[in-house]
Chain A
Amino acid sequence: MKQVACADLGVVPYGEALLLQRRLQQLRREGRVPDLLLALQHPPVITVGRLGKPEHILAPPRVLAKLGVEVHWVERGGDVTYHGPGQLILYPIFDLREHGRDLRRFIASLEEVMLRVARAFGVEAHRHPGFPGIWLGLKKLGSVGVHVRGWVTMHGLALNVDLKPNLFPLIVPCGLHGVEAASLAEVASQPVSLEEAHRLAREAFSQVVGVELVPLDAEVLSKWSA
């Protein structure tokens, strides 16, 4: 089975993770690094994808500043989303030419990983055709959004495990009025921990994508990102 190096980065400011991903995407395109999976969390941040509209950020700038919430306009697909403590994030830096050259299958794989993590906590989430991500009725539990250049991916998935605080009300999630965000912890009938969710997500990713995840040495990563 193909090995993929997985780096557990802990809490990383959004801008820092963005620069790291751009650098790694470039290196992957040049064939200088292998496929990689970054596992992390972000401090509170609002990000706006290529289809995002400024009016989908409901809170005025002074409120965001007071809350310490940054706003980043980024190259991923989709509209507005929120990232913050208690959310599980996976960013695959993958060359899709080695994984079937199928954009839809890749997005479906990211959704499947989140569905399996939810199921492991006893939560049966589902897809909404035409509205990528995973859902519980009209509540959004997990989001996807990627950017692909030269068939190499960046950005990825964000699963709401135990949002504290839940700052999604600051935005119109995905630009869809009436949609709210839910956390696994709110709907699961069993205790949910972010640490366990990360372990389950890695296990699910390995099974769904068909790769073996091996820990990536922090020193190796910092050499690449320098």
Chain B
Amino acid sequence: MEITVPALGEVEEVTVLQWLKGEGEEVEAGEAVVEVEADKAVFVVESPAAGRITRILIGAGDRARPGQPLAELQPP
């Protein structure tokens, strides 16, 4: 399972601002995991399910497109 950049309407690209959770950390469904920014709007991406973040794919400062995976999530 993956944590992806949500569809944000006409937004074509976001910048990853900061990870609130690190690799190896457990998260609950709906827990805030990463902040992304587009057009002076900070959007908090929440985990789609409970699990453990096994790998962060896009680091802080890098860009990603809606639908693109940001991290891999292993269900419990």
Chain A residues at the B interface, C-beta cutoff of 8 Å: 49-51, 75-78, 100-107, 132-133, 144-150
Contacts and interface: CB of A to CB of B under 8 A. Distances in A.
Interface in B20-44: 30, 32, 35, 37-44
Main secondary structure of the interface of A (DSSP, over half): mixed
Interface of B: 7-11, 17-18, 30, 32, 35, 37-44, 46
Main secondary structure of the interface of B (DSSP, over half): strand
A50 B9 contact: no
Contacts, number: 68
B9 A78 contact: no
A107 B39 contact: yes
A196 B45 CA distance: 39
A102 B42 contact: no
A106 B11 CA distance: 11
A149 B32 contact: yes
A103 B11 contact: yes
Contacts of A104: 8-11, 38-39
